[in-house]
Chain A
Amino acid sequence: MAKVERVGGDNLAISDLYFSYNDELPIFQGLNIDVRPGEFLSVLGPSGCGKTTLLNLLSGFYRPDVGSVRLRGEPIQPEDPHLGYVFQASNLFPWLSAVENVEFGLRMTTRMNQEERREKARRFLQLVGLKGFEDYLPTRLSGGMQQRVSLARALVLEPHLLLMDEPFAALDAITRETMNDELLNLWDELGQTVMFITHDIDEAIYLSDRVLVLGRPPGGVFRELKNELPRPRSGPTTRTSELFWQYKKELITDISTVTSQNPRDEAEMAEVSLISKAEG
């Protein structure tokens, strides 16, 4: 196992956030989420509920209409060196090899020379289990390996906040479980704050300190589940434990409630409440 230093995490605060795409149905109305430094937060929700939109707001690609997103008390920009982002599709640069992809961020943001960069990139590729694949172009790697490169590419900059948008959704169940364990090991070692988006209930529980369920837009946080599963976690023990099943049952119920909500009704109700607020 390659040696890396603990980077620690930053506090993330989302307060009173309002957002809508060009005057359409609002996606968030007064969203509040606080994430502790070093916390592993899973955000669960059906597709279309605004998970990717939330990460776009957190990373500064989108600006909130009202409210704020603050990392360690300061507004966030995509270029922020403390921010790491793993995309749903790996978004690797297809013209660069695995190690060059990992090196990319170092090349943009540091004054390290070519050799130091290479060396560090190799170390992080090794960390995600890709020793020997340094010179492969992304097309020659499987989906799971591409996501590993993508993870190494984000981690090599030692971010204090790691945003992950359904990074393993496209992987088969077995590869996904392996990746879950690897992610937990890395997080354990590096200690950054993680916001992990998923629509997979098992994954959300297995990884996190806390699970948020998002409702249909503009639902916001439908429920918060404090995850007391002991760490370190391991596949067979954790996934078969009583508590795991209990959480799973609760979340399945929540998700089916959320999914059966009719977004139209909600929107109308939101409008009604806005109007009555304005009048009152």
Chain B
Amino acid sequence: MNSTANNATAEAAMKKPSRKIGLPGFSWSWLSIPSLLIAWMLVATQFPSYILPQVWEVAEEGYEWIANGELWPHIQASFLEVLGGFGASIIVAIICGFLAGFNKGFREYIVPLNGLFMAIPPIAWAPLMLIIFGIGYTTIVVVIFISAVNPMILTIMEGVLQIQGSEVRAARVLGARRWQLFVYVYLPASLPFITAALRIGFSQAWRALVAAEMIGATHGLGWMVSMGGEIGNSRQVLLGITLIGGVSWLFERMFFRPIEKRYETWRIN
């Protein structure tokens, strides 16, 4: 038995250290956005400004929107709609996802529905919701909800099923019972897949928002793009697109990345 400690040490030595210390090195990702901007500028030289404006012209347009105070209400409108639709789908997805994970009957019932709804692009719901709810907040919130909730339910359900097969089984043979299982296993074990579900749900919600606003709204970033197209203002269109990408990127960076980083160390290799 004396040899065992040495064996373990040797095994550990063979594993690469998981974290390196030092200055962050060069990353090719630093080039992705600048190269896109350069390509845009080069292509834009070949077109008149009213068809494809230059980067700085779009920036100028953005400055004008900010200066006359029109931009903020649109961002705010989009933000509130996402908050409503995505917020509701988080609550429903956590409840239904866990129920489907625990109860075989409910799972068998809901999985085909999720599949069906996921096969329908969010934009297809917009006209119907417009007829029911009219132009405005409710229509868009409902479209967001329908698009985001389904993939989130599936992700959470699969997560619950997976931990039932591994961590929960392990905990039960170690003597954990009902509330202990909930506190010491379900809660910590579900954080990674709930985060994954939030991320998937947010990207769905954001797409649905923009799509729905293009059809059934009088405000918002999606409306900015479609209205710009209708009046032939390509600067406004590009400004809208840039903001749509930018806001989503900010969310990713500020919320989802940092949370996911925390769970990265957990993943069993």
Q: Which residues of A contact B (CB under 8 A)?
A: 1, 59, 61, 78-79, 81, 83-85, 87, 89-95, 104-105, 107-109, 128-133, 137-142, 144-146, 148, 153-154, 157, 175, 178, 182, 185
Contacts and interface: CB of A to CB of B under 8 A. Distances in A.
Given A81-B175, A144-B11, A108 B1 contact: no
A230 to B, nearest CB: 20
B1 A138 contact: no
A182 B6 CA distance: 13
Please provide the 8 A-B residue pairs with the shortest distance between their CB atoms, ordered closest to farther.
A129-B4, A105-B174, A109-B175, A94-B266, A85-B173, A91-B170, A108-B175, A78-B172
Contact of B12 (A91, A104, A133): A133
B15 A91 contact: no
Contacts of B267: 94, 139
Given A129-B7, A140-B18, A145 B172 contact: no
A178 B180 contact: no
B171 A104 contact: yes
A139 B177 contact: no
B4 A93 contact: no
A157 B169 contact: no
B1 A95 contact: no
Most interface-central of B3, B171, B177 (chain A CB within 10 A): B171
B9 A132 contact: yes
B182 interface: no
A95 B189 contact: yes
Looking at chain B's contact residues, the main secondary structure is helix
B265 A178 contact: no
Contacts of A87: 166, 169-170
B185 A79 contact: no
A95 B172 contact: no
Interface residues of B, number: 34
Given A95-B266, A139-B267, 20 more contacts: A79-B177, A84-B173, A92-B268, A93-B167, A95-B188, A104-B174, A107-B184, A108-B174, A108-B175, A108-B177, A129-B5, A129-B7, A131-B5, A132-B9, A137-B265, A139-B18, A139-B269, A141-B12, A146-B268, A154-B173
Given A91-B166, A185-B1, A142 B12 contact: yes
Contacts of B174: 104-105, 108-109, 153-154, 157
Contact of A93 (B1, B170, B177): B170
Interface string B237-269: 000000000000000000000000000011111
Given A87-B169, A108-B180, A132-B9, A139 B175 contact: no
B184 to A, nearest CB: 7
B8 interface: yes
Interface string B125-166: 000000000000000000000000000000000000000001
Contacts of A154: 173-174
A157 B170 CA distance: 13
Most interface-central of B5, B9, B173, B185 (chain A CB within 10 A): B173
A145 to B, nearest CB: 6
B173 to A, nearest CB: 4
B215 interface: no
B14 interface: yes
Contacts of A104: 171, 174, 176, 184
A84 B175 CA distance: 10
Nearest to A91: B170
A79 B172 contact: yes
A91 B166 CA distance: 5
